[in-house]
Structures are given as structure tokens and as C-alpha cells.
Amino acid sequence: MSKSTTVCVDASVILRYVLQPENTSIQKLWKKWMAEEVNLVAPSLLFYEVTNALYQQQRNNILSAETIWETLELSLELPIALVNEANLHVKAREIAMRYNLPATYDAHYLALAEWMEIDLWTADMRLVNSLKPFKVKWVKGIE
């Protein structure tokens, strides 16, 4: 995909940003996006996934309820435009089949990025690695 002033981010990016303030990779990238006024977009399922992941952290006694609450509030305040386009569901199913994905959640982010012709950023290296055989160059991984 071409360079753009808009990028798609998935839930793993948001979780890494809010839960790992010491992670220089994500913090530098986020700071760069904000300085360059990059528009961040995601499919409308973004905060369903973020909320669930945070709940799982609390449920498994990894983080306190207070930390989860504060982190969720911070996540919801991030400048991300949510896209609720009905056709993304059809495209996500097609993409899940094309790339042999185990579910359509990741495929929704891929569908949005493909449809908008922008890069998708993810901290999910499993997803990045699963797409390598398909030479999908517009999916960017954050380690």
C-alpha cells in the first residue's frame, strides 16, 4: 500500500501502547504519528477487543481492576476514528479465507486497510508471520 497520512491500527497496538509505557518501539512510533498528525483508523470492533483483552488481564489476576479501569479509559480517549462499514464484514470473510486465518477478527483490520489502501500496524507478530508467504507488504509489525 502507498504511504499515507492515515494508518489502520489493531487492538494489539492499542494494548501495547497503554499497557507498556516503557516499550520504546511503540512509544516512539506513537509520538511520530502524533507529531506528523497521522490519522488513525480501525474497524468498529477495536474497543470490543481492547475491553475483552483488558478484562482477561484482570480475570487472570495479571493486572488490578483499578489499572484495567484506568487503561480502558485511556484507550477510549485515543484519537482513533472507528469505521463501521457493512461491506467490511463481507471483505473480512474473503480475506480470512484468502490468507487462511483462524478467525475473522484480524481480517476486519486487514479488510479496512486494504479497502482504504493504507498500512495496517499490529503488534501481533503471529499475524505478521502468517501473512509473509502471501507477500502482504502493507502489514507492519511492531516488536
% of the chain residues with pLDDT over 90: 97
Query: What is the pTM (predicted TM-score) of this model?
Result: 0.93
CB-count burial class (<10 Å; 0-12, 13-18, 19+) for 87:
exposed
If one counts every other C-beta atom within 10 angstroms of the C-beta of residue 68, the result is: 20
Q: What is the average pLDDT score of the chain?
A: 95
HSE-up of residue 27 (Cα within 13 Å, Cβ side) = 7
CB 38 within 8 A of CB 5: yes
Number of H-type helices and E-type strands within the chain: 7, 5
Mean pLDDT of 71-95: 96
pLDDT of residue 2: 45
Mean pLDDT of 7-19: 97
Q: What is the pLDDT of residues 20-57, one digit of tens each?
A: 999 999 999 999 999 999 999 999 999 999 999 999 99
Mean pLDDT of 44-71: 95
pLDDT of residue 143: 84
- The CATH number corresponding to 6-141 among 3.30.413.10, 3.40.50.1010, 1.10.150.120, 3.40.710.10 equals 3.40.50.1010
**Residue 4 clears pLDDT 90, i.e. is over it:** no
